[in-house]
Amino acid sequence: MKLLSQSRKKQLKKIAHLPHELGFRMPAEWELHEATWMVWPHQRSSWQGRDRLERVRKRLLDIFEVLLNDEKVNLLVQNQAEKIDIQKQLKDRGGPFKRLQFYLISTADVWIRDYGPIFIRNPEGRKAWVKWQFNAWGRKYPERLKDNQVFSPRRPFFRMPCYFPDQVLEGGAIDVNGEGEGLTTESCLLHPNRNPGFSKREIEISLRQYLGIRNIVWLSGGIAGDDTDGHVDNLARFVSKDTILAAYEKKTADENYEPLRKNWRRLKAASLRRTRPYELVKLPMPGRVMHGRTRLPASYANFYIANQVVLLPVFEDPQDDKAIQIIKEHFPKKRIVPIPARDIVFGLGTIHCLTQQEPK
């Protein structure tokens, strides 16, 4: 095991009194929300042209109508004109918009899951947030580095404490059960384009200190077409403290078959190490969704759990109905809302990537 450097020892000594030591933890996504944070899409290049951008915007309006019935949506827009246009469209639809809160802030892209705040809470119900560093998925897209400053601790977004570790972490790279357990991938968190020089042990220490994740299940890697180096929210998701839905490909000739089978074996091994084994459920993969010769990262695992609904990306695929049924079985008290996502996935993400929950 790699020894900690002297500089890292000093850094870890400084954070000994930080979130985990004060009882803070990252809640599970199914715990009650105060709000959902989102960004209005504006980059034509992200969606391969204006026509698809407009279709993606209509899908977001569909999502607003569903979410606003039960929880607040905090929406980042570029300017006042966007705000007025969205209000008009919602009014024309006859949908609710009183819970829609606008923030006029320039962004490079919509994927707030990866650069937005990660909220934590202590047993007394006090909230705080963690501002991790965002480097545009390993500096793949330099023009999107500006999103690292969208949620600056210097901006008065939240009346709650902020912690800001000097480490890169995207929200889509982790998933938690709210009980101190988390899922992630080696291909993303250990990639040298994120935190070069940091060992697995050092990353685990940071996740424990800032998010209260005491036990991490390390999956291997991601699906084809995923430019994030393997975000776990396309692979495996907690749906209860003891249950994990995991993407699985049955077709041996498919390029996702072996990576997903390897992840499944790791989940099985992690389950056996627990006093109470995980319930592991296979979630099918849709067939190939292509942009020319390039495969896009379509996955049913990229669902979002809101207060009363689960938003599930679907792809006009024969496996859609099976995925809907599996999600229904695990969220019997919530309404399952399929969101057509073939246009959205052209941006290389879908529903979970577009959202970030703020707990109550």
Helix 200-211, helix 6-14: angle, nearest 10? 10
CA angle 44, 52, 292 (to 5 degrees): 95
Burial of 237 (0-12, 13-18, 19+ CB in 10 A): buried
Residue 127 has pLDDT above 80, yes or no: yes
Residue 324 lies in a domain: yes
CATH code of residue 267 = 3.75.10.10
Average pLDDT of the residues in 190-199: 96
Identify the pLDDT of residue 96.
76
Distance CA 64, CA 72 (A): 9
Distance CA 214, CA 33 (A): 23
> In sequence order, what E strands does 10-122 have?
33-39, 72-77, 100-104, 118-121
Residue 3 lies in a domain: no
Position 155 confidence tier, pLDDT thresholds 50, 70, 90: confident
Cα separation values, 279 from 111, 270, 274, 338, Å: 30, 11, 11, 24
Residue 2 lies in a domain: no
User: Which residues, including other chains, have CB under 8 Å from residue 111's CB and lie 6 or more apart?
Assistant: 39, 147, 172, 347, 349, 353, 354
Measured torsion, CA atoms of residues 98, 125, 181, 331, in degrees rounded to the nearest 10: -40
Phi, psi of 314 (to 5 degrees): -130, 160
CB of 247 closer than 8 Å to CB of 211: no
Identify the pLDDT of residue 3.
42
Residue 4 lies in a domain: no
Q: How far apart are the first and last CA of the chain?
A: 39
Identify the pLDDT of residue 72.
97
Read off the pLDDT of residues 291-347 as tens digits, 9 standing for 90 and up: 999 999 999 999 999 999 999 999 999 999 999 999 999 999 999 999 999 999 999
Helix 80-93, helix 50-67: angle, nearest 10? 60
Structural domain span for residue 159: 11-359
Identify the pLDDT of residue 15.
45
Mean pLDDT of the chain: 94
Give the pair of three-digit tokens for residue 311: 């938003």
Residue 254 has pLDDT above 60, yes or no: yes
Place of tokens 């707030």: 112
Q: Which residues are catalytic?
A: 353
Place of tokens 């990229």: 302
Residue 81 lies in a domain: yes
pLDDT over 70, % of the chain: 96
Element (H, E) at 281: strand 279-284
Measured torsion, CA atoms of residues 286, 108, 114, 111, in degrees rounded to the nearest 10: -30
CB of 127 closer than 8 Å to CB of 31: no
Position 157 confidence tier, pLDDT thresholds 50, 70, 90: confident
Residue 5 lies in a domain: no
- Its pTM stands at 0.94
Average pLDDT of the residues in 192-208: 97
3-class DSSP assignment, residue 356: strand
The residue length of the chain stands at: 360
Among candidates 299, 295, 298, which has minimal Cα distance to 282?
A: 299
Residue 298 lies in a domain: yes
Residue 195 has pLDDT above 70, yes or no: yes
Residue 114 lies in a domain: yes
Q: Note the Cα 190 to chain centre separation in Å.
A: 18
CB of 183 closer than 8 Å to CB of 238: yes
Q: Provide the domain count of the chain.
A: 1
Among candidates 163, 157, 151, 154, which has minimal Cα distance to 115?
A: 151
Q: Note the Cα 22 to chain centre separation in Å.
A: 25
Dihedral sign (CA 120, 121, 122, 123): negative
